[in-house]
Structure 1
Amino acid sequence: MFHHTAFRRLTLAVLLAGLLVATLTAGYFGLEILTEIMVLAILVLALDLVAGFGGMISLMHGALLGLAAYAYAVLTATLGFDPAAAMLCAILITGAVGWGIGAVCSGSHGIYFIMVTLAFGQMAYSFVFESAFLGGDDGLGGITRPDLSAIGVDLNDNMSFTLYALICLVIAYLFAARVLRSGLGRALVGVRENEQRMRALGLVTWRVKAHAFGLSGLIAGLAGVVAAQHVMYISPGLLAWTVSGEALVVVILGGIGTLVGPLVGAVAFVVMRHEISAITPYWHLFVGVLLIAVVMSRANGIFGFLEARLEARKAQPKTKAEAPNA
Structure 2
Amino acid sequence: MSDGPRIAIDAMGGDSGPAAMIGGAARALRKDASLQFTFYGDEALVAAEVARHPSLKSATICHSPESIGGSEKPSQAIRRARTTSMGMAINAVKEHRADAALSGGNTGALMAMSKLALRTMPGIDRPALAALLPTLGDNDVIMLDLGANTECDAQNLVQFAVMGAAYARTGLGLATPRVKLLNIGTEELKGTDELKDAAALLREADYLAFKFDGFTEGDQLSRGEVDVVVTDGFSGNIALKTAEGTARFVTDLLRRAFTSSLRSKAGFALSKPALELLKVHLDPNNHNGAVFLGLNGLVVKSHGSANPKGVSNAIRVAASMVRNDITRKIGDDLDNFRAHAFAAESAK
- Alignment TM class, shorter chain as reference: under 0.3
Structure holding more helix per residue: 1
Counting strand residues as a fraction of each chain, which structure ranks higher?
2
For normalisation by structure 2, the TM-score amounts to: 0.22
TM-score by length of 1: 0.23
